[in-house]
Structure 1
């Protein structure tokens, strides 16, 4: 039973880390650059401020989820 739960938690950690990386890469940089010009055209309909706030909230949420998944994973490894 513990081997299956360790495998499941390790997969959850991997998927969460991949989502975390993608969310960070999508975020709008704070400094002005050529990319910002293209981002403004693409996100004109959504509103850049709302998109950045939403992505920042997702970043915090995913980091907290990773933190707790790693604690649970370590607990499962110690009980094995």
Structure 2
């Protein structure tokens, strides 16, 4: 039962990480202009990219430790 719960948390965290990555502003302006308006800012905050980058690192670290713990659970059974 705990394996199913940790598997669900891994999948949910991966989906959340994918969403956060897609929200971030791309580095190239030509791609950015084709999908969004030029002056678009997520929630109107200029430091949003820094926040989203920190969330990306945090979720990546969470996924790393969840996978390690999941591996230990599999080996113990």
TM-score under structure 1 length normalisation: 0.83
Partner of 1:47: 45
Over aligned residue pairs, what C-alpha RMSD do you find? 1.9
Please list, as runs of the form range in 1=range in 2, the aligned pairs for 1:1-80 lying within 5 A after superposition.
4-36=1-33, 38-43=36-41, 46-48=44-46, 50-80=47-77
Report if the CA contact (8 A) 2:42-2:48 is conserved: no
Find the residue that maps to 1:29 and give its secondary structure: coil
* CA displacement 1:27-63 (0-9 Å, x = unmatched): 1011111524735433176233x11001000000000
TM-score under structure 2 length normalisation: 0.86
Dislocated runs of 4+, deviation >2 Å? 34-42
TM-fit CA distance, 1:66: 0.1
Unaligned residue ranges in structure 1 (runs of 5+): none
